[in-house]
Amino acid sequence: MASCAALGSLAEHSPSRRSSRSRRSRSLQRSDQENQSVAVGGPPLNKFGFKTRSLVCASPSAAGVPGDADGQAEDAGAAPVDLLALVEPLIASLDGATSVLKMKDVAKGMKFDFKAKITALSAINTQLKTTLSEQIEKARTLPNVLAPAQEDINRRLLSLADDEAALRSSIERLKTELGAARQRGEERGKRAHDLKGELSAAHAAQAELKEQHAAQSKRAVEAEEELAQREVQLSEARTEVSKLRTHAQLQEDAAATASARAVEIESRCTQQAEEASRLAEQERQASQKREGGLSLELQTASQRAQTLEVELVALKASHEQLSATHEAVGRDLASSGSTLTAKVAELERTQADLEVTRAQLAEKDSDLRDSIKSVAQMQADNNAQLAHERERVQRLEQELQASREGQQQLRSELQGCKLDIERTQGELEVARQRGIEVQASLARTESEREQHAATIAEQSATLQLRQSEYDRLIEQLAETRESLAGTRASLDTRVEQVDKVTEAKRVLELEFRSYKEHHGSTNQQQLEAITDLKLMVDRLSQQVESKQVELGAKEGNMAEQQMTIQMMHQKLMEAENARRALHNTVQELKGNIRVFCRVRPGAQEAAPALDIAADGTKLCLTHSKDSYNFGFDKVFDPSSAQASVFEEVDGLVQSALDGYKVCIFAYGQTGSGKTFTMQGTPDPESWGLIPRSLSKILSASRKMAADGWVWSLEASFLEVYNETLRDLLNNNDGHNSSLGIKHEEAWGTVVAGLSRELVTSMEQINMLMARAAKQRAVGSTDMNSQSSRSHS
């Protein structure tokens, strides 16, 4: 190009030879113009005839990959490398250089001084053509060499992009699983804390059960001490009763009242002592049962608490192991994330290096061999790096698989822990419910016992207070009556005196009036008489006025005393009602239905077959080698007297007097002593329940008659024989066809037409019982020659 331009310049500056070489000049100019046109139409050429171009950095759009408006690809690391696109401009520039090869030496054959120059240029041109031809051939073979490399690089880039996407998704999944594992670990830690709290609550409940057990034992000891005190009081009361009985025998005038009083006191004391004994025994038995149950539950709760502690320790160990595994997984995930980040950075650096290499390849067109070597070296480096990355990916996949297996194991262990926790929760709930039930039962039992004890103590105290108040009111009433009788007598005397004085005054006034009528004139003696009479009248008037004032005061006192008497009667009625209610409450506490057992004395030579417990509530029957235990409210041994049997039903007789319905009957086989227990013998010491009850009723009626009550007692005697009603007080051998069972609103179910006898003393009652005994249906049996064959 430079030589052609030089030739053109020479031709222009040779005017002397312009005409002779005009054709050649024009030809040279045309060639120069063609060369200039080639130079203008393409890139500039270097000294070797190659086109020169500036350094171009390959971008996705420059490499033939479409991109966005800013030239930024969506994923630069995943863009394929197009080496052919980089080589094609070079080949095109070589095609442009072929015009140089077709150029001809225009100065050939010229006959002027520049022939040597042309020869030199021709030699240079020949050398350049040869070199250019070789470069063109090499450039044409370059696409065939770069195409496999391009495909391999693009394939590896796509594989790296897929691996990168897989690693990113794996990292996200691992992060999700790591968050879930952390949440489960936190839940397990919270659950372990809850289990600790429940275990502490179980320990507290266990301690509370121990305290309740100690309190129950203490209360049982106190109940036994109270029972001992009651027994001492009972012995003292019995001693007092013995003294009262001795004193009653010495004082015959007050025998009936003192005896009834002593029997009543002894009965009350015995009832209170027996009631206290029975309550104490029941409390002691209940305490023993509760103590045994509490001991068993306490032992169970202790064992369960130990089991829960062991499970809690195991759960803690499992939780720590899971925490360690969780931390290791977290560290592995962090390491994998950092490794992946490093690999991404390294891939980016590799991509940058590749871009630099592409730029260097584009820049170093002159040294294509070095560029190819650099590309081969880069390819080898990329291959090594890809192999290393594949190994790293495989290792990460193995670690991911191991992490998944560990997570699966953690899930299974977590599921097992959840099942253990649920089972532990259920057992703790059952233990808690048992503890609550035991506490409620203990509270109810303690409350009932305290209520019973308080009720008995309160009733006893109230009964004693009412009795003392009743006695005091009786004494005050008697004193008031005596005072009222004296006041009435004095008042009557005063009234008589006032009447006498009034009559004397009236007589004197009449006499004075008569004297005044008959004697018109007065003298000294009459005046003195009149003065004396006036003085006497004044004195008598003053006495009458004082007596009237005193009479008014007495009447006021009498009205106050009448009001006091009415108030006393009202209080007495209230005290009586309260006594009835308390007495009925005591009877209900003893039991509305009570079963007593009385053992008849056997023959002396007979072997003992019965064993009565010391507390008098249990009986053991021995037959051959077998023994049978029976429980009753009271067991009377063969040595028990009729009076001791009546003491147990004395309160029921009082309830009948208070208006409650009471039924007492004896039940047993033939010859067991039913008639003896109910009727007894004519001897007062051997009276049965019927005569003793009637005696108590008569005694109570006499006492209440003294307080203003009006009583009328009627007795009847009925027998049921072979489902036939017989009136034993009927003189017609007990047969009365008009007897029938009816229901009345006032009395309930009664036997209509039954004979009734008015009784006022025990002598009448004994006569009626003797008359009824003669009409009873009796018969001879193997065990009793005079066995009663009916129910009466």
Average the pLDDT over 405-418 and give the result. Answer: 75
Q: Among 31-40, 206-215, 533-542, 682-691, whose mean pLDDT is lowest?
A: 31-40
pLDDT value of position 380 = 75
pLDDT value of position 279 = 63
> What is the spatial distance between Cα 308 and Cα 316, in angstroms, rounded to a whole number?
12
Q: How confident is the model at residue 568 (pLDDT cuts 50, 70, 90)?
A: confident
DSSP state, residue 755 = -
535, burial (CB in 10 Å: exposed 0-12, middle 13-18, buried 19+)? exposed
Dig out the tokens for 670 from the structure: 């033939």
Q: Are 360 and 374 in contact (CB under 8 A)?
A: yes
Q: Among 201-215, 415-429, 653-667, whose mean pLDDT is lowest?
A: 201-215
77 pLDDT above the threshold of 70: no
Q: Are 647 and 737 in contact (CB under 8 A)?
A: no
Tell me how many helices (H) and strands (E) the chain has.
11, 13
297 pLDDT above the threshold of 70: no
728 pLDDT above the threshold of 60: yes
Average the pLDDT over 239-248 and give the result. Answer: 60
> What is the spatial distance between Cα 267 and Cα 259, in angstroms, rounded to a whole number?
12
CB atoms within 10 A of CB 685: 9
Average the pLDDT over 51-74 and give the result. Answer: 40
Find which of 239-253, 443-457, 631-645 is predicted with most confidence, using mean pLDDT: 631-645
379 pLDDT above the threshold of 60: yes
Q: Is pLDDT larger for residue 375 or for residue 225? A: 225
Q: How confident is the model at residue 630 (pLDDT cuts 50, 70, 90)?
A: very high
Q: Is pLDDT larger for residue 359 or for residue 631? A: 631
pLDDT value of position 595 = 92
Binding residues: 668-675
User: Rounded to 5 degrees, what are φ and ψ at 576?
Assistant: -65, -40
400 pLDDT above the threshold of 60: yes
161 closest CA partner among 351, 334, 339, 336: 351
> What is the spatial distance between Cα 85 and Cα 62, in angstroms, rounded to a whole number?
8
pLDDT value of position 550 = 76
Q: How confident is the model at residue 73 (pLDDT cuts 50, 70, 90)?
A: very low
> Which residues fall within 8 angstroms of residue 43, CB to CB, at 6 or more apart?
51, 52, 53, 93, 96
273 pLDDT above the threshold of 80: no
Binding residues for ATP: 668-675
Q: Which helix (H) or strand (E) holds 373?
A: helix 368-518
The dihedral sign for the CA sequence 415, 416, 421, 422: positive
378 pLDDT above the threshold of 90: no
Q: Among 133-147, 368-382, 418-432, 694-708, whose mean pLDDT is lowest?
A: 368-382
192 closest CA partner among 473, 524, 424: 424
By DSSP bridging, strand 596-598 and strand 634-636 are parallel
State the average pLDDT for the chain: 69
Average the pLDDT over 538-560 and give the result. Answer: 76
List, as own/partner pairs, every contact residues 475-478 make where C-beta atoms lie below 8 angstroms and the sequence separation is at least 24, other chains included. Answer: 476/568, 477/565, 477/568
pLDDT value of position 484 = 66
Reported as a single tens digit per residue, the pLDDT across 148-179 is 777 777 787 787 778 778 777 777 777 777 77
Find which of 131-135, 375-379, 579-583, 716-720 is predicted with most confidence, using mean pLDDT: 716-720
Plot region of 780 (φ>0 → left; ψ -120 to 50 → alpha; else → beta): beta
226 closest CA partner among 278, 263, 270, 164: 278
Q: Is pLDDT larger for residue 42 or for residue 661? A: 661
pLDDT value of position 632 = 92
pLDDT value of position 224 = 65
228 pLDDT above the threshold of 90: no
Q: How confident is the model at residue 204 (pLDDT cuts 50, 70, 90)?
A: confident
Q: How confident is the model at residue 316 (pLDDT cuts 50, 70, 90)?
A: low
> Which residues fall within 8 angstroms of residue 273, CB to CB, at 6 or more apart?
230, 231, 233, 234, 237
Average the pLDDT over 316-322 and give the result. Answer: 66
8 in helix, strand or coil? helix
> What is the spatial distance between Cα 401 and Cα 7, in angstroms, rounded to a whole number?
79
DSSP state, residue 722 = T
pLDDT value of position 534 = 73
pLDDT value of position 350 = 67
36 pLDDT above the threshold of 50: no
Angle at alpha carbon of residue 35, lines to 31 and 36, rounded to 5°: 115
Q: Is pLDDT larger for residue 49 or for residue 605? A: 605
32 pLDDT above the threshold of 50: no
Average the pLDDT over 591-596 and give the result. Answer: 86
CA 101 to chain centre: 108
Q: Among 110-119, 209-218, 662-671, 697-706, whose mean pLDDT is lowest?
A: 110-119
pLDDT value of position 596 = 92
Reported as a single tens digit per residue, the pLDDT across 682-712 is 888 989 998 899 888 888 888 888 777 787 8
Q: How confident is the model at residue 51 (pLDDT cuts 50, 70, 90)?
A: very low
pLDDT value of position 597 = 93
pLDDT value of position 58 = 38
| CA end-to-end span of the chain | 165
pLDDT value of position 743 = 84
506 pLDDT above the threshold of 50: yes
> What is the spatial distance between Cα 672 and Cα 781, in angstroms, rounded to a whole number?
12
pLDDT value of position 692 = 92
Dig out the tokens for 222 from the structure: 């106190």
pLDDT value of position 5 = 35
pLDDT value of position 335 = 67
Reported as a single tens digit per residue, the pLDDT across 644-661 is 999 988 888 888 888 888
> What is the spatial distance between Cα 277 and Cα 224, in angstroms, rounded to a whole number?
9
Q: How confident is the model at residue 433 (pLDDT cuts 50, 70, 90)?
A: confident
Reported as a single tens digit per residue, the pLDDT across 776-787 is 776 555 455 555
701 closest CA partner among 769, 766, 768, 761: 761
Q: How confident is the model at residue 102 (pLDDT cuts 50, 70, 90)?
A: low
718 closest CA partner among 757, 660, 685: 757
Q: Where are the alpha helices (DSSP H) in 103-114?
A: none
713 pLDDT above the threshold of 50: yes
pLDDT value of position 78 = 46
